[in-house]
Chain A
Amino acid sequence: MTRYIVRRLLQSIPLLFIISFVLFAFTNSLGDPLAVFAESRNRPTAAQREEITRRLGLDKPLLEQYLYWLVGNDWTLVDVRGDGSVMEPGTREGVLRGDFGNSFVTRRPAWSRIEERLPGTLVLMIPSYIITLILAIAIGVYSSVRQYSFIDNLVTGLSFFFYSMPIFFIALMVIYIFGVQFTRWGLPALPIGGTGNGTFLDLQLHMIMPVFCLVAIQLAGYVRFIRSSMIEVLSQDYVRTARAKGLSERIVVQRHAFKNAALPLVTLIGLDLPFLLAGAVVTERIFAWPGMGRLFIESFERADVPVMMAILILLCVMVVVFQILTDVVYTWFDPRIRY
């Protein structure tokens, strides 16, 4: 087992290097990051801009920039003026030592931007994911046990319907009904955007609509998945045996069927969990929610390479880690599997 984990970790290292280089190449060709400085109040002169470019290492070839991004440049000298007259030691420590560089926009460490936004995203994503899972298991199991009943057909139809729906439609719909129309009708309306005035109660009020939308969108896929894997398990011989032994239907469903049907669910959850960190770009945009999705869009619009890279690398690392974790958890749930 340990050997397996170590091998997987070692295998993922070259993968991460390849991904990070490709992403670095892509994000660096997004546009001129110095355009941000041009719109600031004390606009730098052309000479100053060149100096900033050299300090940031943007004049170097891509491969060299990537190297500095990776291992930092504090072990070498930066030619600030471009003519060798002023040589300063570099200040960056590089990603391998936990330094993602400074944001081009805020001039503060890129990682601190993530630390600011991550809680916002998690506050939104974790409750909605938990609610989704609980509801999906309840609905999926119920509808598989009563396959082709009215309820089951209704669930199948509805899950198709929500599965096909863009999240912004649900979001705009609930905002229109509970935000706009309730105000027009003089009913107590739900707040439309933001995170409120800082109290827990207000935060909860602001969370209702985005969490509802996220649940509505995610639920459909999970219900379909659980229903189909339950139906497959329920037709197995050991389920018939369990019934033949005279076990109550509850025990059969809970202990014999669901436990086995939950195995593929573990894989699915392991694949989906890391992406919760990415936040929900569209939902966060509509509800003006300060999360990772909006951070990505903001830094994308201003070509803020360090922040974008920090977000993307965080995601890739989490995906790799969760894949390995899923495999480990899997052996725990299913003792037949050995690595």
Chain B
Amino acid sequence: MTTLNDTSKVSSQVATIGEKTYAKGQSNFSRSVRRLRKHRMALFGALLLIGVVLFVLIGSMLITEAQANFNNPANRLRDPSSEHPFGTDVIGRDLLARVVYGGQISLFVGVTAVIVQMLVGTLVGVLAGYMGGVVDSLLMRFAEAMLSIPQLFLALVALRIFADPSRFPDFQFMGRVFSSTLVVIVFVIGLTSWMRVARIVRSVVLALKEQEFVTAARSIGARSYQIILSHILPNCIAPIIVSATLGVASAILLEAYLGFLGLGVRAPTPTWGNIMGEANAYIGSWYYWFFPALFIILTTLGINFFGDGLRDALDPKSLN
């Protein structure tokens, strides 16, 4: 569905690149920013996102990680109170602290997984589009093959293979202990979701490489990598940014699904997903699953609103 939309927008964008539709003294960028600021939904999304990020940042300054892992089985499954605003979990840990620290991990996984996804997707897309021929059909067949398996299945299998704790021990970073699955899950999510980006980038590259400015660059002796880096990639930035933004939401959701199934980032590291996975057995204690889910929804909602606005703002088709 998104691919259909994206490719149609991309081709229309390429069609208008040559036309001189811009007023004097206005860069493409400032124009986009202005349009974004007028987009009410996008602003709302940005506010939501800033809110979630501030909650996690300020929360982790006020609450130590030790508090998030401090358990007290005598105090289990307490309703929200002034002492524990989000209640306590099944072994008496403070859920507010868990949600704050889980949020750090969930947001981190979302953003870094998308970086991996964008790097791989752009690389494959540029290679396939620019080289054409055998390389193109091999890479695209491979992308198709990966698309014909549900992403959750792929991610599960890849996780099991690479997240073996005996192969990769837990590691310390900035004085904190993280489960090795954290790094693995970033790559697993990134490497199972690059296909759509690759398709989008490829279609832009295909349309661009026959344009006059590319022929001109080639005629003055520019090398392929120079053409790709300075002429083709800058023109792919808009669709890449849009799909990266929306990609963060789906990466966070995928992480949450994996965590919910108990197969994501493992203890001692909390994430919104694996808190909800634990809560699955205690549905009657609503606060256990409600708060992590609330933050997942606020984040993905914010990202989707913002990403949609971004798409409108960066799309020259909506120039008026």
Q: What residues make up the interface of A, taking CB atoms closer than 8 Å to B?
A: 15, 18-19, 22-23, 26-27, 29-31, 160-161, 163-166, 168-169, 172, 175-176, 179-180, 221, 225, 228, 264, 267-268, 274-275, 278, 281-282, 285-286, 296-297, 300, 308, 312, 315-316, 319-320
**Of A179, A221, A275, A281, which is within 8 A of B1 by CB?**
A221
What is the distance, in angstroms, from A210's C-beta to the closest C-beta of chain B?
A: 15
Quick check: B145 and A176 within 8 Å, CB to CB? no
| Chain B neighbourhood of A164, CB < 8 A | 249, 297, 300-301, 303-304
Quick check: B283 and A282 within 8 Å, CB to CB? no
**Contact (A285, B261) CB under 8 Å given A29-B161, A176-B283, A312-B153:** yes
Quick check: A172 and B161 within 8 Å, CB to CB? no
**Contact (A268, B4) CB under 8 Å given A15-B144, A300-B157:** yes
Tally the A-B contacts, defined by beta carbons under 8 Å: 108
Further 19 A-B residue pairs, CB within 8 A, beyond A166-B256, A267-B4, A296-B153: A18-B142, A23-B149, A160-B304, A160-B305, A161-B301, A164-B300, A165-B300, A166-B253, A166-B297, A172-B280, A172-B293, A268-B1, A268-B4, A274-B148, A275-B150, A281-B261, A282-B261, A300-B156, A320-B148
| Chain B neighbourhood of A282, CB < 8 A | 257, 260-261
| Chain B neighbourhood of A281, CB < 8 A | 150, 152-153, 257, 261
- C-beta contact mask, B240-277 vs A, less than 8 Å → 1, else 0? 00000000010001001100110000000000000010
Complex CA–CA separation, A84 to B275 (angstroms): 54
| Chain B neighbourhood of A172, CB < 8 A | 276, 279-280, 283, 289, 293
Complex CA–CA separation, A31 to B300 (angstroms): 35
| Chain A neighbourhood of B149, CB < 8 A | 19, 23, 312, 315-316
Complex CA–CA separation, A172 to B1 (angstroms): 28
Listed by A's residue number, 21 A-B pairs whose Cβ atoms lie within 8 Å are A15-B141, A26-B157, A26-B158, A29-B161, A160-B41, A160-B304, A161-B297, A164-B297, A164-B303, A166-B257, A166-B293, A176-B283, A221-B1, A225-B1, A282-B261, A297-B261, A300-B156, A300-B160, A312-B149, A316-B149, A320-B148
Q: What residues make up the interface of B, taking CB atoms closer than 8 Å to A?
A: 1, 4-5, 41, 141-142, 144-145, 148-150, 152-153, 156-158, 160-161, 249, 253, 256-257, 260-261, 276, 279-280, 283-284, 286, 289, 293, 296-297, 300-301, 303-305, 308
In the complex, which of the residues A18, A23, A166, A179 has the most CB atoms of chain B within 10 Å of its own CB atom?
Answer: A166
| Chain A neighbourhood of B283, CB < 8 A | 172, 175-176, 179-180
**Contact (A26, B161) CB under 8 Å given A166-B253, A169-B296:** yes
| Chain B neighbourhood of A228, CB < 8 A | 5
Complex CA–CA separation, A147 to B281 (angstroms): 44
Quick check: A166 and B1 within 8 Å, CB to CB? no
What is the distance, in angstroms, from B40's C-beta to the closest C-beta of chain A?
A: 11
What is the distance, in angstroms, from B283's C-beta to the closest C-beta of chain A?
A: 5
**Contact (A180, B284) CB under 8 Å given A164-B297, A172-B293, A316-B148:** yes
| Chain A neighbourhood of B304, CB < 8 A | 160, 163-164
* Dominant secondary structure of chain A at its interface with chain B: helix
Complex CA–CA separation, A274 to B5 (angstroms): 21
What is the distance, in angstroms, from B256's C-beta to the closest C-beta of chain A?
A: 5
Quick check: B148 and A168 within 8 Å, CB to CB? no
| Chain B neighbourhood of A31, CB < 8 A | 160
In the complex, which of the residues B4, B150, B276 has the most CB atoms of chain A within 10 Å of its own CB atom?
Answer: B150
Complex CA–CA separation, A250 to B305 (angstroms): 33
**Of A27, A161, A168, which is within 8 A of B157 by CB?**
A27
| Chain A neighbourhood of B293, CB < 8 A | 166, 168-169, 172
What is the distance, in angstroms, from B264's C-beta to the closest C-beta of chain A?
A: 12
**Contact (A315, B1) CB under 8 Å given A30-B160, A160-B304, A164-B300:** no
What is the distance, in angstroms, from B44's C-beta to the closest C-beta of chain A?
A: 10
Closest 3 CB pairs of A and B: A319-B148, A164-B300, A169-B293
Quick check: A30 and B4 within 8 Å, CB to CB? no
**Of A18, A30, A160, A180, which is within 8 A of B301 by CB?**
A160
Chain B residue, CB-CB nearest to A169: B293
In the complex, which of the residues B4, B145, B256, B304 has the most CB atoms of chain A within 10 Å of its own CB atom?
Answer: B145
Complex CA–CA separation, A129 to B293 (angstroms): 25
What is the distance, in angstroms, from A176's C-beta to the closest C-beta of chain B?
A: 6
Chain A residue, CB-CB nearest to B164: A31
| Chain B neighbourhood of A275, CB < 8 A | 150
Complex CA–CA separation, A23 to B5 (angstroms): 30
| Chain A neighbourhood of B253, CB < 8 A | 166
| Chain B neighbourhood of A267, CB < 8 A | 4
Quick check: A18 and B152 within 8 Å, CB to CB? no
| Chain A neighbourhood of B5, CB < 8 A | 228
| Chain A neighbourhood of B260, CB < 8 A | 166, 168, 282
| Chain A neighbourhood of B148, CB < 8 A | 19, 274, 315-316, 319-320
**Contact (A176, B284) CB under 8 Å given A164-B249, A316-B148:** yes
In the complex, which of the residues A221, A268, A319 has the most CB atoms of chain B within 10 Å of its own CB atom?
Answer: A319
Chain A residue, CB-CB nearest to B3: A271
Quick check: A315 and B150 within 8 Å, CB to CB? yes
| Chain B neighbourhood of A166, CB < 8 A | 253, 256-257, 260, 293, 296-297, 300
Quick check: A22 and B157 within 8 Å, CB to CB? no
Quick check: A18 and B280 within 8 Å, CB to CB? no
Quick check: A169 and B284 within 8 Å, CB to CB? no
What is the distance, in angstroms, from A276's C-beta to the closest C-beta of chain B?
A: 11
| Chain A neighbourhood of B286, CB < 8 A | 176
Complex CA–CA separation, A300 to B150 (angstroms): 14
Complex CA–CA separation, A22 to B161 (angstroms): 14
Chain A residue, CB-CB nearest to B305: A160
